[in-house]
Chains A and B, each alone.
Chain A
Amino acid sequence: MTQKHTVKAYDDDLKRLGTMVVQMGGMAESQFAAAIEALVKRDSDKASTVVQGDAKVDVLRNQLDEFAIDLLALRQPMALDLRVIVSALRISSELERIGDYAKNVAKRSLVLNQSPVVRPVSAVPRMASLVQAMFKDTLDAYISHDAAKAEAVLLRDEEVDDMYNSLFRELLTYMMEDPRSITACTHLLFIAKNIERIGDHTTNIAELIVYAVRGQIPKDERPKGENADIAVLDK
């Protein structure tokens, strides 16, 4: 809504809240990118920086939540304003989780750097760049209040799931071939799972954007990939 509030400070507050979400999103985005880079380049210094950097995301998260709660208490928002504030609160916790997963990727890459290179490490960055593209579009959709763009992101999660599933099978094969690679492959598997989870949290954010703009959570009818790790366990 382009119309301004009668009370100008309210507009300023909402703008500030939006800026905090974008700032936190940017932070999570660069943490994630740095974690993947550290993994690919076997750069332990970079990985350590990511591990330490997560605290900053958490600090911003707390500031954002506090500010959103202040707005709820002091402005008693309604309709669009209410949805924007509530979704900001929820997006902040999704971003915080994404930050945690990035940190975990970095931690595991520190361990991986102490063992020889595992072959499918190349599939991991491919999967990561897919999730990074989804994440970028989601942030763009947030900035431009673009529900259609956010909805488009929802459809792309299936591809991530598929990639994760094929990676899962591939890694199992390696472990069977060469038991010495089990430690490294397991870490890689968890890294892939973390990336897949970041994709899930990204789609949650995309859903919240659709909710904030349109007032309705999108119906859960998007395609879901099969769950390879569970399917294998069943056999």
Chain B
Amino acid sequence: MQNGYSTSNAPVKMSARKVDVFYGDKQALKGIDLDVPARSVTALIGPSGCGKSTFLRSLNRMNDTVRGCRVQGEIKLDTLDVYDNSVDVVQLRARVGMVFQKPNPFPKSIYENVAYGPRIHGLAESREELDAIVEKSLKQAGLWKEVGDRLAEGGTGLSGGQQQRLCIARALAVSPEVILMDEPCSALDPIATAHIEELIDELREEYTIVIVTHSMQQAARVSQRTAFFHLGILVETGDTKTIFTNPSDERTQGYITGRFG
């Protein structure tokens, strides 16, 4: 088995070493070693139940909220030990943001959806500063042109694709370093999906992105590194190009060519 250490020269933003995750007695992840290179997109693929979402959620301790969930091993964000007792989980999740499968805007205005994070984290000292953050985040999320003139309208009134980009803008508003995306396009049509993928491609200049996707084509399109999970283990990881043209492991080959899973 190939290990998950980064082979490229890119600096490592997040790293996992010997990570085991349990839900009660059931072990969901076994001994995961994986490096997430900075300012690039890492795709996690694998059949349902393989542990890829569990791994994603352990990166910003979203699993803390799951009853009976235990994480062993070491996960680091730069030099910070993510599971250290002294870590403020709210601060951690500001640095490691998350976008979910289904767009979940707050039942508030578009403006408030984006302004909420910076406000509770005290990132803006004045109304002008907050306005600037909202505008910048919406622009980065590629939504400003569509909603810039109706910020007071409800976020839930937008189309699915727009709602998802609003959620990305909300994640961006607190200036995260890493963005975790859990199947961000699975509820969207192909055009909205293309918008998100284009956005991901732009965002990787500034942010480190980890994306879980069930669409192999999407993983191939948006990521630079791909990690294949199966039955709770990391089977293979490598440059996306290599994984999709010439994977080393039979299981990876079987999965990406549609022979199981």
A contact residues vs B (CB 8 Å cutoff): 1, 3-7, 10, 76-83, 215-216
10 smallest CB-CB distances across A and B, nearest first, come from A215-B246, A78-B256, A3-B259, A81-B257, A79-B253, A78-B244, A78-B257, A5-B258, A79-B257, A5-B259
Q: List 8 A-B contacts (CB under 8 A).
A: A1-B254, A1-B257, A1-B259, A3-B260, A10-B258, A79-B244, A80-B253, A83-B246
A6 and B247 CA atoms in complex are apart in Å by 19
Q: In chain B, what residue has the closest Cβ to A75? A: B258
Contacts of B250 in A (CB 8 A): 1
B246 to chain A: closest CB distance in Å? Answer: 3
A82 and B244 CA atoms in complex are apart in Å by 9
Most buried by B among A3, A10, A76, A80: A80
**Segment 133-176 of B: residues with Cβ below 8 Å from A:** none
- The answer to whether B260 and A78 have CB atoms under 8 Å apart is no
Q: Which of B244, B246, B256, B259 contacts A6 (CB 8 A)?
A: B259
B216 at the interface (CB under 8 A from A): yes
Contacts of B216 in A (CB 8 A): 78
Q: In chain B, what residue has the closest Cβ to A82? A: B245
A66 to chain B: closest CB distance in Å? Answer: 22
B2 at the interface (CB under 8 A from A): no
A7 and B258 CA atoms in complex are apart in Å by 8
- The answer to whether A79 and B246 have CB atoms under 8 Å apart is yes
- The answer to whether B260 and A6 have CB atoms under 8 Å apart is yes
Q: Please report whether the interface of chain A is mostly helix, strand, loop or mixed according to DSSP.
A: loop
B126 at the interface (CB under 8 A from A): no
Chain B positions 78 through 121: 1 when the CB is less than 8 Å from some CB of chain A, otherwise 0: 00000000000000000000000000000000000000000000
B217 at the interface (CB under 8 A from A): yes
A7 and B259 CA atoms in complex are apart in Å by 8
B64 to chain A: closest CB distance in Å? Answer: 36
Query: How many pairs of residues, A versus B, come closer than 8 Å at their CB atoms?
Result: 45
Contacts of A6 in B (CB 8 A): 258-261
A72 to chain B: closest CB distance in Å? Answer: 12
Most buried by B among A6, A7, A10: A6
Chain B positions 208 through 227: 1 when the CB is less than 8 Å from some CB of chain A, otherwise 0: 00000000110010000000
Q: A76-B217, A78-B216 are in contact. Are A3 and B246 (CB under 8 A)?
A: no
Contacts of A3 in B (CB 8 A): 254, 259-260
- The answer to whether A79 and B247 have CB atoms under 8 Å apart is yes
Q: In chain A, what residue has the closest Cβ to B220? A: A78
A83 and B257 CA atoms in complex are apart in Å by 11
Contacts of A80 in B (CB 8 A): 253, 257
Contacts of A78 in B (CB 8 A): 216, 220, 244-245, 256-258
Chain B positions 236 through 253: 1 when the CB is less than 8 Å from some CB of chain A, otherwise 0: 000000001111001011
A209 to chain B: closest CB distance in Å? Answer: 15
Contacts of B245 in A (CB 8 A): 78-79, 82-83, 215
Contacts of A82 in B (CB 8 A): 244-245
Contacts of A5 in B (CB 8 A): 257-259
Contacts of B258 in A (CB 8 A): 5-7, 10, 78
Q: In chain B, what residue has the closest Cβ to A1? A: B253
Add 7 more A-B contacts to A10-B258, A81-B257 (CB < 8 A): A3-B260, A4-B259, A5-B259, A6-B260, A78-B220, A80-B253, A216-B246
Contacts of B257 in A (CB 8 A): 1, 5, 77-81
Q: In chain A, what residue has the closest Cβ to B261? A: A6
Q: In chain A, what residue has the closest Cβ to B243? A: A79
Q: In chain A, what residue has the closest Cβ to B254? A: A3
A83 and B220 CA atoms in complex are apart in Å by 16
Contacts of A1 in B (CB 8 A): 250, 253-254, 257, 259
A77 and B216 CA atoms in complex are apart in Å by 10
A1 and B253 CA atoms in complex are apart in Å by 9
A10 and B261 CA atoms in complex are apart in Å by 16
Q: A1-B250, A216-B246 are in contact. Are A79 and B256 (CB under 8 A)?
A: yes
A144 and B253 CA atoms in complex are apart in Å by 20
Most buried by B among A6, A10, A78: A78
A5 and B258 CA atoms in complex are apart in Å by 6
A7 and B244 CA atoms in complex are apart in Å by 19
B238 to chain A: closest CB distance in Å? Answer: 12
Contacts of A7 in B (CB 8 A): 258
Q: In chain A, what residue has the closest Cβ to B216? A: A78
A165 and B162 CA atoms in complex are apart in Å by 69
Contacts of B217 in A (CB 8 A): 76
A4 and B247 CA atoms in complex are apart in Å by 17
A10 and B257 CA atoms in complex are apart in Å by 10
A90 to chain B: closest CB distance in Å? Answer: 15
